[in-house]
Amino acid sequence: MRRTIHDLRQLAATRKLASLTCYDASFADLLDDAGIDILLVGDSLGMVIQGHASTLPVTVGDVAYHTRAVARGARTAWIVADMPFGSYQASPEQALRNAVELMQAGADMVKLEGGEEMAATVAFLGARGVPVCGHVGLTPQHVQTLGGYRIQGKDAAGAERVLAGARAIEDAGAAMLVIEAVPHGLAERIVAQRRSLVIGIGASAACDGQVLVLHDMLGISPGKRPRFVKDFLADGGSIEAAVRRYVDAVRIGAFPGPEHVYPDEA
């Protein structure tokens, strides 16, 4: 039986939550067996599955297809589906139409990027029965306006924008929040004021859980790896053993280590 958001809150009170991206039924089954708590059908599929240079070409149909596959393989893990670029920014009504498609495909929750500007959409979805995960800090769908995949919140003004965005998304009713690529001190400030489950990626071990792209965690992604990535397959053994090492490291707070988070500015 699939976990509920209440189950995740109870687990987070006793240990850290382990999350990975997932795009198919076979890996969903393996990751579920290995103890992954949350499966993210990420728009990262545009890069690691489809071979694009960014997540921007991914469509709702793409995410729905992969969500259906993951839902067939998963038995207990909570499934979060990314809302792709252009699928929710126009209006709350547009977001609801596309979120319904992803929920009907098997998602338990949808994730969207942005801060204060997305608060009304988060509230609109939540009021209509769609659980929402927010995403602040480095938001990959904004790669063109950010000028690349850059750390966010490095100066006082940037940090306040990220903090304000996190507050606004939580105030709007988001049950989960992903923080990506911010200085660890800023991530800890967000965690200290949180009212939702906070999942980090390049943030802080203080978060309620961690997420990585599956292919990054297995060391099979092309190109330069971000600081926050660790190859858990490098020590050998099977893919399942690597996933179990990741789960164990996250649960006890050993991952991320200091080498995987971004220091505060001196």
DSSP notation for 173-184: T-SEEEEES-BH
Phi, psi for 230 (deg, rounded to 5): -130, 135
Q: Residue 158: which residues within 8 A CB-CB, separation 6 or more? A: 152
Long-range contacts, stretch 9-12, CB < 8 angstroms, 24+ apart: 9/197, 11/37, 12/197, 12/208, 12/209
Farthest CA pair distance, the chain: 48
Residues contacting 37, CB < 8 A, separation 6+? 3, 8, 11, 17, 18, 19, 77, 78, 209
93 is catalytic: no
- E strands in 62-140: 78-82, 109-111, 132-137
Rounded-to-10 torsion of CA 154, 156, 158, 162: 100
Write the single-letter amino acid at 67.
T
C-alpha to C-alpha distance for 46 and 44, rounded to whole angstroms:
5
Q: Which of 101, 180, 188, 240 is catalytic?
A: 180
CA distance 127 to 14: 29
Catalytic residue ranges: 180
